[in-house]
Amino acid sequence: MTRDLTCGSPMRLILGFALPTLLGMLFQQFYNLMDTMIVGKLLGAQALAAVGSTGSISFFVIGFCTGVCSGFAIPVAQRMGAGDLSGMRRYVANAAWLSGLFAVVLTAATCLLCRTILTIMNTPADIFDRAYAYIFVIFLGIPATFLYNLLAGILRSLGDSKTPVYFLALAAFLNIALDFALILWFDAGVAGAAIATVISQGVSGAACLLYMVKRYPVLRMSRAERRPDAGCCGRLCAMGVPMGLQYSITAIGSIVLQAAVNGLGTVYVAAVAAGAKLFQLLACPYDAMGATMATYCGQNVGAWKLDRLGQGIRACAWLGAGYAVLAFGGMLLFSAPCAMLFLDPAEPELPLLLDLTRRYIVTLTAFFFPLALVNIVRFSIQGMGYSLFAILAGVLEMIARTGVGMWLVPVFGYPAACFASPAAWLAADLFLLPASMLCVSRLRRLHPAERAAAQEAAPAPEHPVRAARSGARS
């Protein structure tokens, strides 16, 4: 059920781990896309713009939740790589305690403040009520977001990238059925699409939990391992909060940019919403590469195999470059038909919407290799245990997007909005590439004695992956 990423060809291991992760993310994007498609086709461009106008706010909050869960999983991966199964279980238990606390606090705060946030963002009056109805329900579902993402992160830390896919597939099909039922039969509008998303994610998280309880004996904890531990909580927060803040800091720039786009008018908001959904789908391989590199580097740092860090980053960068070429060529040829997935053919401003959406997505895919490096290198650094560098990279992305939104969009209009994300990726890369080399250098200097001792130790103890498999068979 688990996988050892500390031995074997980095390219082969990364591909084998990333492909199931990618499939899971595609399922997740699939039901997000279905929300957008159903809203755009059945409720019209204004409803699509309402949902799209909340994207940056959702990224600000839900991105923080996802980042925190990813950060909580890193100490789990490091203890797994080191062979410390009891320590691994302590981190899992304390991650669950912290996730529950974060979920309660964030749900209360965001539900109280979401109307104020929409007002500050200059959300157009003709879509304000629908935007509020959608994002309020999404915020109510924060506990479901924590549940699924924490469990998926723990499974990936153990080397299992396949199991979360099965439950995301369940969520995808459930979400589609609920979308049609709530929007068509119960006339719930955009709130129905949000309700479908929350229920689907909650079901997938609960199913994942039940599966882990029954099928992962390596996670069965003693009473002492389940107790809250200040040391474990401190370590988890030191990894998780910076990763969550990285997403939220990055999202601040997106919020400023979204506010600038809102000022251009509803048709531009709808075009960016459609283009953003296409981008989220096309960027899934890079998200999968990032999740893979966090686990890969976490396990190899725990096993103290530092030479494999650079090998893995280079192998994954080659994969990212190849996909960047394919994505750009695909959007040059097929961006218009893809945009029609989200647009109603009867829209009176359809030609303008199509042109705006095509310009947006082609510009983004032209800069996909810088995006690949952002995901690969940033998550690798986080897997090494240096989450603070991820925050600094997020700050640079925020500054770039904020600058474009505040000063360039008012002057140059929509073309400037299309170049905001590429500018953010390039700014982050200028910091992340040297930072990754510094992190590896620091690791080499920190514990040379431990590294030498590990290399001389013989016979080697049984690896936790094999131990887990033996426990599962018994």
Structural domain spans, the chain? 10-473
pLDDT in tens, 214-254: 888 888 899 899 999 999 999 999 888 888 887 777 777 87
- Do residues 398 and 250 lie in contact, with contact meaning Cβ atoms separated by under 8 Å? yes
pTM of the model: 0.76
What the block records as the tokens of 96 is 């669950």
Site of tokens 């140059």:
412
Whole-number Å distance between alpha carbons of 88 and 84? 6
- Give the other-Cβ count within 10 Å of 351's Cβ: 9
pLDDT in tens, the chain (474 residues): 567 778 889 999 999 888 888 887 777 777 666 777 778 777 777 887 888 778 778 888 888 998 899 889 989 988 888 888 899 999 999 999 999 999 999 999 999 998 998 888 788 888 899 999 999 999 999 999 999 999 998 998 888 888 888 888 888 888 888 988 898 888 888 889 899 989 998 998 999 999 998 888 888 899 899 999 999 999 999 888 888 887 777 777 877 888 888 888 888 888 888 888 789 889 999 989 998 999 899 989 988 898 999 999 999 999 999 999 999 999 999 998 988 877 767 777 888 889 999 999 999 999 999 999 999 999 999 889 888 887 888 899 989 999 998 899 999 999 999 999 999 999 999 999 999 999 999 998 876 555 444 444 434 444 444 444 334 333
pLDDT of residue 457: 43
What is d(CA 285, CA 281) in angstroms, rounded to the nearest whole number?
9
Q: What is the pLDDT of residue 320?
A: 97
3-state secondary structure of 428: helix
CB neighbourhood size of 228 (10 A) = 12
Owner of token pair 């498609």: 37
Please state the separation of Cα 427 from the chain's center in Å.
20
Q: How many beta carbons lie within 10 A of that of residue 328, not counting itself?
A: 18
Residue length of the chain:
474
Q: What is the largest CA-CA distance in the chain?
A: 74
C-alpha span between 388 and 407 (Å, rounded)? 29
- Whole-number Cα distances in Å, 128 to 115, 131, 183, 426: 9, 5, 19, 33
The answer to whether 85 and 467 have CB atoms below 8 angstroms apart is yes
Of 451, 282, 308, 247, the C-alpha closest to 371 is 282
- Contact assessment for residue 58 and residue 254, using Cβ atoms and an 8 Å cutoff: no
| pLDDT at residue 448 in the model | 57
CB atoms within 10 A of CB 36: 23
Cβ(74)–Cβ(386) below 8 Å: no
Residue 50 CA to residue 45 CA, distance in Å, equals: 9
Task: Please give the structure tokens belonging to residue 467.
Answer: 């131990």
pLDDT on residue 460: 43
Give the pair of three-digit tokens for residue 441.
């250098």
Whole-number pLDDT of residue 1 = 53
**Residue 60 and residue 48 in contact, taking contact as beta carbons nearer than 8 Å:** no
Rg (CA), the chain: 22
- Amino acid, single-letter form, for residue 160: D
Q: Are 272 and 360 in contact (CB under 8 A)?
A: yes
- Report how far apart, in Å, the C-alpha atoms of 397 and of each of 124, 254, 284, 330, 371 are: 26, 9, 19, 26, 11
DSSP 365: H
